[in-house]
Structure 1
């Protein structure tokens, strides 16, 4: 191949490269696309200063171990069902509706029909809610569960609950950060922890 042919082929190759698509060299600042940051975790930092021995609250119901407690007033019975839910209902099974100021009048029942709620609960992955549950879903029979004293925390299997004179009963899903607190006068869909300096 002579010099003229080689030069012609090189020129053709350059033209083909130029025509085959742009080669972009960008010396400006890069702009990068990033995925949206994950949701911030709950800012509630639960204290372990007032833990009770969970073993003292364990009981088997229908072959499944749960952790049951009664409020100091005896009015409420509650349970932590490991890795499933935590909830509370009236200790008096004949008092079907839960009586909390500003609670909804009805929620979807087991058949989807509106019914008066008889419990408040938080499950592993969802927000707290009022619900319709069987009369003994969170209680023991025939004897009531052990009392959870004021300012003590029952923490087990991804949930924690406590009872305080000022805010009532509160439970938290440690997986989702969702929770509830309620008393006869009010409720909130967030967990209220026992202050570390509580007696």
Structure 2
């Protein structure tokens, strides 16, 4: 009996030792918690930020503005004197509007002149056949080598009687060379300025129905 108890007590003691390692004692202090070991290291997630894409700036090319080139060497149109000649040495023309009848005479002296609608500002001159009177002029005249002038003529000496005078187009130059010692004379008609005639030394006139210039 005694031996059985000893064995039984020993068995019981062994069982108690085994149980004390697996459970908590009722007397008080809790056993330390078991440590958890993670044998797999955490995976590292690498995030790669794609490089920023740079959109090339768009450039707008404005069309270049080129000023038009003008030809400054354009030769003025020259009228054919033969179209305006009456008797030898006498050349007649009108303005395109017909307001002025003009002529160039190349004889012993070179003379150019016109009859027409002169401006009201034209100076009054001696009346033809009445030198003591002052009248509106009916003629403008240039004798080469002297200043141009207004005058009153008793007859229309620059009117063509044997035919109809040919109009001198705007911008065309009628150039009549001198004869002997006389200067040549050049005439032209401008749409705004009117009729102009000059000699080779700078004397001349420009006249329209609104303005004039004597040189």
Cα gap change, 1:88 to 1:48, in 2 (>3 Å): farther
Q: CA separation of 1:167/1:129 partners in 2, compared to 1, >3 Å: closer, same or farther?
A: same
Superposed, which structure 2 residues align to 1:178-197 within 5 Å? Answer: 178-190=203-215
Flag the 1:133–1:48 CA change in 2: closer, same or farther, 3 A.
Answer: farther
Q: Report deviation, 1:133.
A: 2.1
| Distance in 1 between residues matched to 2:125 and 2:210, nearest whole Å | 18
TM-score norm. by structure 1 comes to 0.60
Cα-Cα RMSD: 2.1
- 1:103: which partner in 2? 122
Q: What CA deviation, in whole Å up to 9, does each residue of 1:128-151 have, x standing for no partner?
A: 100122433001125430010111
Q: What CA distance in whole angstroms lies between the structure 2 residues aligned with 1:99 and 1:180? A: 12
Unaligned runs of 5+ in 2: 1-73, 178-183
Report the 3-state secondary structure (helix = DSSP H, G, I; strand = E; otherwise coil) of the residue aligned with 2:90. Answer: strand
Q: Is the 8 A contact 1:102 1:186 kept in 2?
A: yes
Find the counterpart in structure 2 of residue 155 from structure 1. Answer: 175
Higher relative contact order (CA 8 A, sep 6+): 1
Which of structures 1 and 2 has the bigger CA Rg?
2
Structure 1 residues 100-179: aligned runs within 5 Å: 100-107=119-126, 109=128, 112-114=131-133, 115-141=135-161, 143-157=163-177, 158-174=184-200, 176-179=201-204
- The alignment of Structure 1 onto Structure 2 pairs a total of residues equal to 133
Map of 2:53 onto structure 1 = none
Taking the aligned partners of 1:142 and 1:99, their CA distance within structure 2 comes to 25
Q: Which residue of 2 aligns with 1:32?
A: none
Deviations 1:118-177 (A, max 9, x none): 111111121010012243300112543001011111110310110001210000011x31
Distance 2:93 2:75 in 1: 18
TM norm structure 2: 0.56
